[in-house]
Chains A and B, each alone.
Chain A
Amino acid sequence: MIVEQMMNKNVLTFLPSNTIKEAITLLRENKIRHIPIVNEQGKVVGVVTDRDIKEATPSNLTDGQNHELLETPLEEIMTKNPVIGHPLDFVEEVATIFYDQQIGCLPIISGGKLVGIVTETDLLYKYIELTGAHQPGSQIEVRVPNKAGILFEVSKVFHDHHANVLSVLVYPDLQHESNKILVFRVHTMNPLEIIEDIRKEGFDVLWPNMPGMTT
């Protein structure tokens, strides 16, 4: 998947001359945490986050409001030259950037203009979608030998049962390096026959063992 397919295209932006006070209102009213700062030409020159604002304003435990401080232009507190992304970037690649750079949002730039934004939260939700967990289904985990062609052998069972697979994840078995764990989400309420047939093929279906079912 590429960024263009998941980015938020309705981005709320401010000019460098907008104030902290305005930013506080915008964040609060729209329940957002990041504001790209764009100059008159539409070029992204910075990012202001809710954390930048917290750092720049006095604690709400101190008395009174410092009105002068709230009128500070955003260009004084923004992160300049932020890390940016492109609509054609791979989502996997972008996830790595978030992790490595420890950032919370990525402005997406094309033709020198801001065209979208991706946040940590968007990315996390996209990964939830990739696991298929938002659709009704049953989860089946299978321990298999780590060699070529195994996925085909297991998925053949789903084919035989005419079962619609919502997602497949493959991850290493931490206990046995010679194995892998396959996690399937299948669109069925009754996975018993599928589980039985995967076992018949000689694979290990992980916990739980069905009560009352011989294995």
Chain B
Amino acid sequence: MAKHAGNDNIKKHAVYVYSEDQLGYKFSDTHPFNQKRLTLTTDLLRKMNALSDGDIVPPRIATDEELYLAHDARYIDMVKKASKGLVTASQTESFGIGTDDTPIFPNMHEASARLVGGTLTAVEYVMENKASHALNLGGGLHHGFRGRASGFCVYNDSSVAIKYIQDKYNARVLYIDTDAHHGDGVQWSFYEDPNVCTISIHETGRYLFPGTGNVSERGSGQGYGTSFNLPIDAFTEDDSFLELYTTAFREIAAFFKPDVIISQNGADAHYFDPLTHLYGTMKIYKEIPKLAHQLAHEFCDGKWIAVGGGGYDIWRVVPRAWSLLWMEMNDMELPQDSLPSEWLEQWEKESPVPLIPTWMDPDNLYEAIPRKAEITEKNKQVLDKALYSIRNN
């Protein structure tokens, strides 16, 4: 597990973008989006001896010019005013802030710009060959729109980062989003751009926000054929999820031939997640980064930037899922057995639910799904429809 010591002249294997300032992105004590996930994950990795001071780089704050790459100036001005308490919720509502989903909080602009800056820091490490891979768990705010906040997201770090990569490094970007919600903000940002390919696998809009992300959304104009959507049914389990993810990601990477991969790693497709209705277990969080890692080496000379995303069971799911991501990124052997007892002892007092003491979930986590065969069959049909255009070329 030993990696290069904190010597900037040597290319690092991977960097972990993190500082406690990232916890400043906080709506309220009761809001489901809770960055305490970052503390729990970082602590778990440290107690595994999988993360050292030399791996960590602090995020910078994105400048206004950088935010303009993917956001309207009027919107940014409004966030800044709200941030300082200069406007009321009724004035900001049309910008999607001051709502129940995305309430106004002090220094909202700075906190949001720092999450974007973190992803830009990750981009710079990878694109300037200072590291092969980089992880910013504070990022992944995929619902942010050009002129409007949506679904807990103020600024869209991935959209800004992809534009930044295009402007500064002129590279083709493949964005893969495994959050249980459709990656709408990023998709619409590059819907007409043939040099950015977006893939989103998510629960269908039948019962879940945001409701978009149908198979038929394939891009438009020049960008037609470079947006891919895999909407999967509620109650989808590991095997069907992984069948779609693996097949689609592999075939699309071979078709698009990216220079760099950005993966969004929302951890809310798990059975325990309170907001969604998918039935994933820790198995998918072991496999998701493995394939991203592999394809980054196969197609992009290793260039892989990973960001966080959703994940609302912050005790039982997110710390384990995101730790597996970092360990995969560092070629560490993935642990199978128990979590470090120091970590369990430290946090079980605070956790409102009993912690899962092992890396993988126990068997029989939930009762068998009655319509499993039909759900699997339907998802398979979605996969074939999504890939139809590239299979017939």
Binding site for B on A (CB under 8 A): 132-139, 161-164, 185, 187-192, 207-208, 210-213
B366 at interface (Cβ–Cβ under 8 A)? yes
Contact with A along B251-279 (1 / 0, CB 8 A): 00000000000000000000111110100
CB <8 Å contact, A189 and B207 = no
CB <8 Å contact, A211 and B277 = yes
Binding site for A on B (CB under 8 A): 32, 93, 99-101, 143, 150-152, 181, 184, 205-212, 234-235, 271-275, 277, 366
Beyond the given pairs A136-B151, A211-B277, 13 more chain A to chain B contacts, judged by CB atoms under 8 angstroms and listed by A's residue number, are A133-B205, A133-B211, A133-B212, A134-B212, A135-B210, A136-B210, A138-B209, A139-B206, A162-B100, A187-B101, A188-B209, A189-B101, A213-B274
CA distance in complex: A187, B145 (Å): 14
Q: Write the chain B residue with the least CB distance to A211.
A: B271
B206 CB contacts on chain A under 8 angstroms: 139
Return 25 A-B CB contacts under 8 Å, by A number: A132-B211, A133-B211, A134-B212, A135-B210, A135-B211, A136-B151, A136-B209, A136-B212, A138-B208, A139-B211, A164-B93, A187-B99, A189-B101, A189-B143, A189-B152, A189-B210, A190-B32, A190-B152, A207-B207, A208-B207, A208-B277, A211-B272, A211-B273, A211-B277, A213-B274
CB contact under 8 A between A212 and B151, given known A135-B211, A189-B209? no
CA distance in complex: A133, B211 (Å): 6
CB contact under 8 A between A212 and B272, given known A138-B208, A190-B100? yes
CB <8 Å contact, B211 and A192 = no
B184 CB contacts on chain A under 8 angstroms: 136
Q: Write the chain B residue with the least CB distance to A191.
A: B209
Q: Write the chain B residue with the least CB distance to A207.
A: B207
B271 CB contacts on chain A under 8 angstroms: 211
CB <8 Å contact, B100 and A136 = no
CB <8 Å contact, B207 and A139 = yes
Interface of A is mostly: loop
CB <8 Å contact, B211 and A188 = no
Q: Write the chain B residue with the least CB distance to A185.
A: B211
What's the minimum C-beta distance from B39 to chain A, rounded to whole angstroms?
22
CB contact under 8 A between A190 and B101, given known A210-B274, A211-B366? yes
CA distance in complex: A132, B205 (Å): 12
CB <8 Å contact, A161 and B100 = yes
CA distance in complex: A135, B205 (Å): 11
Closest 10 CB pairs of A and B: A136-B210, A189-B151, A189-B209, A138-B209, A208-B277, A188-B101, A189-B101, A136-B150, A190-B32, A208-B207
A189 CB contacts on chain B under 8 angstroms: 101, 143, 150-152, 181, 209-210, 275
CA distance in complex: A192, B275 (Å): 7
A210 CB contacts on chain B under 8 angstroms: 274, 277
What's the minimum C-beta distance from A168 to chain B, rounded to whole angstroms?
15
CA distance in complex: A164, B148 (Å): 15
CB contact under 8 A between A208 and B234, given known A139-B206, A188-B209, A189-B101? yes
CB <8 Å contact, A136 and B211 = yes
A187 CB contacts on chain B under 8 angstroms: 99, 101
CA distance in complex: A187, B211 (Å): 10
B234 CB contacts on chain A under 8 angstroms: 208
Which listed residue, B207, B275, B277, touches A190 by the CB 8 Å rule?
A: B275
A133 CB contacts on chain B under 8 angstroms: 205, 211-212
Which listed residue, B93, B151, B207, B274, touches A192 by the CB 8 Å rule?
A: B274
B181 CB contacts on chain A under 8 angstroms: 189
B151 CB contacts on chain A under 8 angstroms: 136, 189
CA distance in complex: A93, B212 (Å): 29
What's the minimum C-beta distance from A205 to chain B, rounded to whole angstroms?
11
Q: Write the chain A residue with the least CB distance to B366.
A: A211
Which listed residue, A135, A138, A164, A212, touches B274 by the CB 8 Å rule?
A: A212
CA distance in complex: A192, B30 (Å): 12
CA distance in complex: A212, B366 (Å): 10
Q: Write the chain B residue with the least CB distance to A166.
A: B211
CA distance in complex: A207, B273 (Å): 16
CA distance in complex: A137, B184 (Å): 11
